[in-house]
Amino acid sequence: MKAAAFDYIRADTVEEACRLLAEGEGEARIIAGGQTLVPLMAMRLARPELLVDINRIASLKGVTADGETLVIGAGTRQADVLADAEVAARAPLLAEALSHVGHEQTRNRGTVGGSLANADPTAEIGLVARTLDAEIVARSSGGERRIPAAAFFESAMVTTLAPEELLIALRLPVWTAPRTGHGFHELGIRHGDFAIAAAAAQLTLDSNGRCIRIHVGVGGASPCPVRLTAVEDALAGSPLDDAAIARATEDISDMLDPESDIHAGAEQRQRTARAMARRAIADARDRAQAGAA
Amino acid sequence: MDDATGYVPREFKYVSHKRRVKEDRRFITGRGRYAADVRLPGMKHVAMVSSPYPCAWIKGVDASAALALPGVHYVLTGEELFAHTNPLLAGVDVPGVKRTPLAYRKARYAGEWVAAVCADSRALAEDAAELVEVEYEPLPFVIDPEESLKPDAPRVHEDHDSNVFFHRKWVWGDVEGDFARAARELSFRARWSRCSTVPIETFVAVADWDAGQEVMQIWASIQMPKYPEQIARALRIPANAVNVHYDIDVGGSYGQKRGIRQTIVAGYLSRRLGCPVRFIEDRLENMSGGDAHGPDRIFDMQVAFDDDGTIRSLRIRATDDCGCYPGRAPLQLGKPVGAIVGPYRIGSAEYEAISVSTNKTSQEAVRGFGQSPTNFAIETAVDKVARALGMDREEIRRRNLIGADEFPWKIPSGSEYDSGDYLAVLDKVKAASNYKVLVARRDALRAEGKLAGIGLSTCLEPSGGNSSFEPLFNPKNDTTTWMESVQIRVDMTGAVTAMINTSSSGQGHQTLVSLVVGEELGRDPDSIRVIHSESLAALPSNSPVGSRMAIMMGGAATGAAKKIRDRVMEIAAHNFQLPVERLVYAGGNVSVDGDPSRTLTWEQIVDTAHRKYHDMPLGAEPGLQSIYTWEVPTGGALPNADGTCQMYPCYSFEAHIPLVSVDPETGRIEILEYYIGHDCGTVISPDIVRGMTFGGIAHGIGAAMYEKFEFDPESGQHLTGSFMDYLMPSAHEVPDVTMVKHFTPSPLTPMGQKGSGESGYLGGPAALASAVNDALEPLGLEITTLPMRVRDMEALLAARTK
Amino acid sequence: MSDHDIALTVNGRRMTSRAEARTTLVDFLRDNLNLTGTHVGCEHGVCGACSVIMDGRPVRSCLIYAVMADGAEITTVEGLEGSDGALSPLQDAFWETHAMQCGYCTPGMLIAATALLARNPDPTEHEIRDAIGGNLCRCTGYVQIVEAVQIAARAMREAG
């Protein structure tokens, strides 16, 4: 399990990385944490000609606030995001999701941008991005663009990122309203495994306990993370009792298009996604209520 | 003649006491020395070319592009290797089946090694392996073992008359009569899926042909009986031209590290190329082409029982999917003959054992050698009888377990159980589990709408490795000798060095022997050095298989130490001019009984032995050294015509009680509490026995809930070739375990010890299945197929709610 | 293709060697620097046997190309003993509880647990299991490893 031979260049700036990508004409690949790419290369399922190492580009790292948006540098280690006080306070859904990502040692290397760019259907960070309608910032020699998460994920392991584009940051909207709560549930076979299905929910209650804003997303049960707008619509204005949640999520299988593999069957992923969605919404509701109390 | 056999109760000074394990110091400081750490000047590296087809003729191999790469030295084909080596030995007599390290003319499973590339580095060897062009002609294949038994199934070995490697049915006792007389009977099918122990270290072999000495030097991560002889036979060199360095630390094995094919390839290439050659299986080679797979068994069970819970008779048909080649794997159907009725007073049994080949990776030995699957089937039967009778699972066991006063107990298949107190162990583990509280916790979980269950299994661990399954399964093999040896040398300073004759893969043999020798000689075990021999200097050994080393290496160590003690006493007696009976041995010193002022110290006696022949008894052997080679107790007999035989000498016992919950929506099982009661007679090293047992439980959790080598029936491809797909339990999945000990000494061993190397694993899967079925019972559901993966559990639960 | 001069500070000592870009950190440590205490288990980032501490954090050295680590500070199992050769409290506790059998996963376990105790002197059992949850052991069932970390944590707290 030794990778096929390749060239290696360390980029010191975003501009240099973009230039190298453009010159690589599709044969160059970015390496950041390498937690997905290196195993693929070890099995020779990926064999880039050139690796462009962006680990030392300082501008790609860190969490900053831009008004009501958290900007998380693409090169920020998952462990650093998980430990970040601002993320914990303002984007607790992401923090909770990150605790399900791999293990401490992979989070110490794995980056936010790497997970997004890899676009594994079961990945937690992409699910949160999709659920909260985050934007993904990409740059190439030609300039910078912001891609809504809904338009970023194309299919399993495929994004709309162009080969010469470098992922710069994740822009995560912060919900500031009082009585906002979040929930995240995931079923892995073992702790830290890829999810069979995962669900994320964030919602806001009014002072009467009725839901005035809700986002629900599901991962692992479709080629890309999915936002369940039909569920959201059904629950808007609802007091979110368990029966209402159960009703609203009863038919979510119709909104999902999972694959079967050796770890889980397609129907199992659908049913599990429903269970995870119910639990995530219920957790979000309980937290919103607790916040109100 | 002095004999190690025969337990005499006594107080131990070192044995059974908490002491640090000798081996650990080098491991915690990164100073273990594993085969992959061996580095020799000019060493070349091997990578394998694997078959992409489950069955195909190999029409040709074009290595020209591979050989054109700078740094690539050789591409070895199956054709060439076959011409210059002998095929591997098979455990059963299967005419027309030849097993070779590289596929010869036909590839028979996806992942089978077809050619070996040798290059300056492993990375380069992999580069070249990609360039080797093999022309294949794909052939029909068979993946399902029951399909493979059908007459029109594709033939795995075209020169063998069927896909059956072994098939025999034995009837022990009046099975028909017992079934007729029993009030009730039930039948069911249980499935144990293909899984194994999968050590974290893959198999590694370094071979260096020393042309000057004409010796093949080998460093390998080996756990295999008669390994040097098998290598020599295959390479067509004398056995005394193979020197295996047993001092290599082996990174886990639990039965699996067989490595014959790997070593032959490295050895052949080393001789052919005149340089040292190292083959480190990478994980992909290990999982698909190596020795990674284990028993894969369908049990068709029938039980005859009475209304009071008495189990009268068992019919077991075990169909085992051996995979492609026979090796020792079919014999894993044989060891369970020695405990075919479990720890129960069951009067008769029928056993039909079928080993069938398929186009899958070959099965190899796994911890317990087939006993854990069998225990799972037997325990499932006992639980089912209880359920059928509306009887408590513990109560039915109490009615059928052999009583402490009934030993030695002979089972219908002829093996005699040496000793035990099963009810005492059951009582202890129940007390440890605080059983009433445990039941209350389960019921509270149920009241919250969760599924929760308590499991119970009571299982045997046959130990000692009197491997009568060899002649039982192959009449051409009349082996009845399963010995082990220890040599002790006391140098002229009085320091004691013991030599053992096999490698260790975590069993702590140095600790074992230092404790036993220290105990017998009264010398501090920390002062005793224990070395692993090289095979050319080695005494006979059968390697650490069959949960045998506490018994066999421990017994041999006692024998060798007693010889030293006898010599010391003789020298002292000569110098005191008194009969030995008048002398007392203590801590190496010898005193005249009742007169401690007349004492010869250990140092004085050793000095006499080495330097003062004038003070030695007339004609005595100078120096102070001994060799003891011990035949396995109860060994030495061929099986009877009806298949009855003494399989293993000693029988350890374990009772498991886990509490699990099952998520009714997702099917995920969580182990909440886990208790085990364990009796392996006298414990030599408490830390080691604890560790073995906990580790065995973890393996059992894997087999019961996670681990399965899976093949696609359509394509024949192996789907679980990496750790992304073959899932092993981590510290999150294995709970804290509470262990309680009971000590029923074996009458057959010098210290009363029995084996513990397979403990935990032999009853764990059965107990977890029992717990899950207890959790499912309120829903009227049942599962008798392992592993109980999330997907399997979820499907079961979903089918009900549909 | 590209070869690189790589300098690391390993266990406090600066070490340099030249390697292909495709050489992983674990192979570099073992083959180039002859530090064979760190073990290779799966080479695809699952088993944790190759864990080392890199710039203060435990990582899997099979998932990092050595060239990417150029300039980094690395601690391997060989660097856990004190300068006087004394065992670290964690090593000592591993020995006391026999938290290993074959020893193959042990360096990775020690690395994971060393990193844990460096940032959390009083971990719960759950936190311990979480810290070693990415390291597979096939021998022990983890029970004695968890015990060892608990004993070491206590000893380190008592020693201040």
pLDDT in tens, B96-134: 999 999 999 999 999 999 999 999 999 999 999 999 999
CB contacts, 8 Å: A44 with chain B: 126, 130
- Spell B465-483 as b/e; 16+ CB within 10 A means b: bbbbbbbbbbeebeebebb
- Asked if B789 and A193 come within 8 Å (Cβ–Cβ), the reply is no
Can you give the pLDDT at residue B465?
84
Q: Is residue A2 part of a domain?
A: no
In a mutational test of the A interface, the residue from C31, C61, C65, C132 whose CB has the highest number of chain A CBs within 10 Å is: C65
Name every residue in A having a CB less than 8 A away from some CB of B.
Answer: 1-5, 39, 43-44, 187, 189-193, 196, 262-265, 267-268, 271-272, 275
- B518 and B645: one domain? no
- B598 and B491: one domain? yes
pLDDT in tens, A20-78: 999 988 899 999 999 999 999 999 999 999 999 999 999 999 999 999 999 999 999 99
What CATH code is carried by the domain that includes residue A21?
3.30.43.10
Out of C40, C81, C141, the one facing B734 most closely (by C-beta) is C141
Q: How far is A199 from chain B (nearest CA, A)?
A: 13
A201-260 residues touching C, CB cutoff 8 A: none
- A65 and A165: one domain? yes
pLDDT in tens, B371-402: 999 999 999 999 999 999 999 999 999 999 99
Q: Is residue B291 part of a domain?
A: no
pLDDT in tens, B182-235: 999 999 999 999 999 999 999 999 999 999 999 999 999 999 999 999 999 999
What CATH code is carried by the domain that includes residue A231?
3.30.390.50
C110 touches chain B (CB under 8 A): yes
Please provide the average confidence, as pLDDT, over all residues in chain A.
96
pLDDT in tens, B725-769: 999 999 999 999 999 999 999 999 999 999 999 999 999 999 999
Please identify which residue in the block is written with the tokens 């036993």: B516
pLDDT at B595 over 60: yes
Across the A:C interface, residue pairs with CB atoms under 8 Å apart total 87
Q: What is the mean pLDDT of residues B623-636?
A: 96
Can you give the pLDDT at residue B5?
59
- B412 and B541: one domain? no
CB contacts, 8 Å: A39 with chain C: 44-45, 63
Cα distance between residue B347 and residue C111, in whole Å: 54
Domain boundary residue, one of B604, B631, B658: B631
Confidence of residue B7 (pLDDT cuts 50, 70, 90): confident
pLDDT at B801 over 70: no
Tokens of B89: 């030995």
Q: Is residue B671 part of a domain?
A: yes
- Spell A48-74 as b/e; 16+ CB within 10 A means b: bebbbbbbebeebbebeeeeebbbbbb
Confidence of residue B9 (pLDDT cuts 50, 70, 90): confident
- CB proximity list for B559: less than 8 A, separation 6 or greater: B2, B3, B4, B486, B628, B630, B750
What CATH code is carried by the domain that includes residue B497?
3.30.365.10
- Note whether B503 and B14 are within 8 A (CB): no
Main-chain dihedrals φ then ψ at residue A35, nearest 5 degrees: -70, -20
What CATH code is carried by the domain that includes residue A144?
3.30.465.10
- A20 and A121: one domain? no
- B644 and B780: one domain? yes
B688 touches chain C (CB under 8 A): yes
- B129 and B230: one domain? yes
How far out from the chain centre does Cα B371 lie? 10
- B429 and B494: one domain? no
Q: Is residue A143 part of a domain?
A: yes
B468 touches chain C (CB under 8 A): no
Residues paired with residue B496 on neighbouring β-strands, in sequence order: B490
- B626 and B643: one domain? no
Q: What is the mean pLDDT of residues C81-97?
A: 96
- Note whether B41 and B208 are within 8 A (CB): no
- B135 and B62: one domain? yes
Confidence of residue B1 (pLDDT cuts 50, 70, 90): very low
Can you give the pLDDT at residue B467?
85
- A197 and A214: one domain? yes
- B114 and B72: one domain? yes
- A11 and A48: one domain? yes
Cα distance between residue C101 and residue B596, in whole Å: 43
- Note whether A259 and A223 are within 8 A (CB): yes
A178-197 residues touching C, CB cutoff 8 A: 191-192
C56 touches chain A (CB under 8 A): no
- Note whether B92 and B331 are within 8 A (CB): yes
pLDDT at B674 over 60: yes
Q: Is residue B181 part of a domain?
A: no
Q: Is residue B664 part of a domain?
A: yes
- A133 and A197: one domain? no
Q: A178-192, B1-15, C27-41, C50-64: which has the minimum mean pLDDT?
A: B1-15
Cα distance between residue B377 and residue B374, in whole Å: 5
- Note whether C53 and C72 are within 8 A (CB): no
pLDDT at B802 over 60: no
Q: Is residue A13 part of a domain?
A: yes
- B506 and B604: one domain? yes
Residues paired with residue B674 on neighbouring β-strands, in sequence order: B658
pLDDT in tens, B295-334: 999 999 999 999 999 999 999 999 999 999 998 899 999 9
- A241 and A158: one domain? no
- Asked if A275 and B665 come within 8 Å (Cβ–Cβ), the reply is yes
- Note whether B721 and B288 are within 8 A (CB): yes
Q: How many residues does chain C have?
A: 160
CB atoms within 10 A of CB A156: 13
SS (H, E, C) B332-390: HHCHHHHHCCCCECCCEEEEEEEEEECCCCCECCCCCCCHHHHHHHHHHHHHHHHHHHC
- A156 and A258: one domain? no
pLDDT in tens, B545-566: 889 999 999 999 999 999 999 9
- B316 and B271: one domain? no
Q: How far is CA C108 from CA C8, C58, C77, in A?
A: 19, 9, 8
CB contacts, 8 Å: B790 with chain A: 187, 189, 196, 264
- A32 and A64: one domain? no
Domain boundary residue, one of B586, B608, B631: B631
- Total structural domains within chain B: 3
Q: Is residue A176 part of a domain?
A: no
Q: Is residue B134 part of a domain?
A: yes
Q: Is residue B345 part of a domain?
A: yes
Cα distance between residue A89 and residue A291, in whole Å: 13
- Note whether B681 and B429 are within 8 A (CB): no
Nearest Cα to B472, choosing from B324, B315, B314, B332? B332
Q: Is residue A1 part of a domain?
A: no
C160 touches chain B (CB under 8 A): no
Peptide bond into C123 cis (omega under 30): no
SS (H, E, C) chain A: CCCCCCEEEECCCHHHHHHHHHHHCCCEEEECCCCCHHHHHHCCCCCCCEEEECCCCHHHCCEEEECCEEEEECCCEHHHHHHCHHHHHHCHHHHHHHCCCCCHHHHCCCEHHHHHHHCCCCCHHHHHHHHCCCEEEEEECCEEEEEEHHHHEEECCEECCCCCCEEEEEEEECCCCCCEEEEEEEEECCCCCCEEEEEEEEEEECCCCCEEEEEEEEECCCCCCEECHHHHHHHCCCCCCHHHHHHHHCCHHHHCCCCCCCCCCHHHHHHHHHHHHHHHHHHHHHHHHHHHC
- B656 and B522: one domain? no
CB contacts, 8 Å: C131 with chain A: 104
Q: Is residue B505 part of a domain?
A: yes
Q: Is residue A46 part of a domain?
A: yes
In a mutational test of the A interface, the residue from B279, B794, B800, B802 whose CB has the highest number of chain A CBs within 10 Å is: B794
Q: Is residue A92 part of a domain?
A: yes
Nearest Cα to B288, choosing from B375, B367, B365, B196? B196
CB contacts, 8 Å: C118 with chain A: none
- Total structural domains within chain A: 3
Cα distance between residue B737 and residue B671, in whole Å: 10
- A92 and A17: one domain? no
- A71 and A162: one domain? yes
Q: Is residue A177 part of a domain?
A: no
- A88 and A150: one domain? yes
Domains of chain C by start residue, with CATH: 3-79 (3.10.20.30), 89-159 (1.10.150.120)
Q: β-strands B204-210, C3-10: how paired?
A: unpaired
Full DSSP string of B501-517: -S-BSSS-HHHHHHHHH
- A62 and A17: one domain? no
How far out from the chain centre does Cα C39 lie? 9
CB contacts, 8 Å: A109 with chain C: 59-60, 63-64
Domain boundary residue, one of A137, A171, A205: A171
Cα distance between residue C4 and residue C19, in whole Å: 5
Tell me the residue range of the domain where B572 lies.
24-31+483-631
Q: Which residues of chain A have pLDDT under 50?
A: none
Confidence of residue C2 (pLDDT cuts 50, 70, 90): confident
Tell me the residue range of the domain where A286 lies.
182-292
Domain boundary residue, one of A38, A53, A68: A53
Tokens of B690: 């604890």
- Asked if A38 and C45 come within 8 Å (Cβ–Cβ), the reply is yes
